Amino acid sequence: MCSSARNRGGVQRVEGKLRASVEKGDYYEAHQMYRTLFFRYMSQAKHAEARELMYNGALLFFSYNQQNSAADLSMLVLEVLEKSEAKVDEEILENLAKLFSPMDQNSPERVAFVSRALKWSTGGSSKLGHPKLHQLLAVTLWKEQNYSESRYHFLHSSDGEGCAQMLVEYSASRGFRSEVDMFVAQAVLQFLCLKNKNSASVVFSTYTEKHPSIEKGPPFVQPLLNFIWFLLLAVDGGKLTVFTVLCEQYQPSLKRDPMYNEYLDRIGQLFFGVPPKQSPSYGGLLGNLLNSLMGSGEEDDAAEEAQEDSSPIELD
C-alpha cells in the first residue's frame, strides 16, 4: 500500500511538471519527456503508471490541439496494454474511446489507433474486436455524423437499439423517402449474417417504431419491411420451405439491391441448413464486402485474418 501510494505521488509530481511545460507552450520538450518517462516506466515494469501517464498526457495534448503528440501518446497507451497483457475491462475500453474521440477525423493516426485498439480488445474471443468498444466507437462516429462508419461499428456491437436510432437519423438526413425501408433491411440482413439474431430483431422493431416516415405495423405499407418481418419470424422457426417461399414471393423487392440475395444465401446456410454453393467464393466488390462483413465465419480463417489486418472502418 505504501509503495503504491509513493508511486502514485511520484506520477502526480511528474505530471505537474509536464503539465506546466505544456501550459507554457513547450510542446516538443514535454512530448519528449513523456516518451522518456514511458520507456523508463516500461523498463521497470511499472505498467499501470506508464499507462496512466500516457493517457493523461494524451488528453492534455488534445486539449491544446497538439494532435501529433496526443496521437503518439495514445499509441503508447495501446503499447502498454499489449505488452502488459492487460485484461479487457469496461473502464479501459471507455478510456480508449475518449482518446479516439478528439483525434483528427481525417488523420491516418486515427485509423491506425482504432485498428490496433480493436485488435487488442479481442482478448481471444471475438476476432473483429470487443462489442463494447465497437459500440463506444459507433456512438462517437454518430455524434460526428459519420453515419457509414458508425454503422459498421454498430454492426459489430450488441447495441441494436442504438444502431436503429442512428439509422433513423441517417435515413432522415441523407436518404430519399423511398429508401426508408432499405436502410433497416440492410442492417437486419447483415446482423443475421453475423449470427446476431437478437440485434437484428431489436434494430428492426426500434427503427420501424421510431422512423417518422413509416406507418405503424406490421403489416407495413412497404413490401420490403414485410419481408424482413416475415424473415425474422422464419429464422426463429428454422423451416427451409418457409424461407424458400418467402424469398421467391418477395423477389421484386429483393431485386432493389443486388446484395440482398447474397446476404440471403448466407442466412440460408446459417439458419436453414442450406448447403454452401459449390461455385468459387464471391469475387470483386461483392466478395470484398461479404468477406469484410462476415470475417467471423468459422469456415474461413484466412478471411478472418485478412479482416483483422485491414482498417476496421472501410466497410460502407
User: Quick one: pLDDT at residue 128?
Assistant: 86
User: Quick one: pLDDT at residue 266?
Assistant: 97
Structure confidence by residue, pLDDT tens digits, 184-208:
999 999 999 999 999 999 999 999 9
Give dist(CA 26, CA 11) in Å, integer.
20
Does residue 222 carry a pLDDT above 50? Answer: yes
Give dist(CA 70, CA 49) in Å, integer.
17
User: The cell 494524451 sits on which residue?
Assistant: 58
Structure confidence by residue, pLDDT tens digits, 236-294:
999 999 999 999 999 999 999 999 999 999 999 999 999 987 655 555 555 555 566 65
Residue 314: pLDDT band with limits 50, 70, 90: very low
User: Quick one: pLDDT at residue 5?
Assistant: 54
Does residue 302 carry a pLDDT above 60? Answer: no
Give dist(CA 81, CA 275) in Å, integer.
42
Kindly report the average pLDDT of the chain as a whole number.
88
Higher pLDDT, 16 or 101: 101
Distance of CA 66 to the CA centre of its chain: 26
Structure confidence by residue, pLDDT tens digits, 15-43:
899 999 999 999 999 999 999 999 999 99
Where does residue 25 fall: left (phi above 0), alpha (psi -120 to 50 degrees), or beta otherwise? Answer: left
Higher pLDDT, 218 or 282: 218
Give dist(CA 302, CA 259) in Å, integer.
22
Does residue 136 carry a pLDDT above 70? Answer: yes
Residue 296: pLDDT band with limits 50, 70, 90: very low
Residue 306: pLDDT band with limits 50, 70, 90: very low
Q: Which range (112-126, 184-198, 227-241, 299-313) has the least confidence?
A: 299-313
Does residue 312 carry a pLDDT above 90? Answer: no
User: Quick one: pLDDT at residue 123?
Assistant: 73
Residue 305: pLDDT band with limits 50, 70, 90: very low
Rounded mean pLDDT of 78-99? 96
Residue pair 286/262 in contact by the 8 Å Cβ criterion: yes
User: Quick one: pLDDT at residue 304?
Assistant: 39
Cβ atoms within 10 Å of 258's Cβ, excluding its own: 10
Does residue 60 carry a pLDDT above 70? Answer: yes
Rounded mean pLDDT of 229-239? 96
User: Quick one: pLDDT at residue 127?
Assistant: 72
Give dist(CA 228, CA 196) in Å, integer.
15
Give dist(CA 118, CA 110) in Å, integer.
12
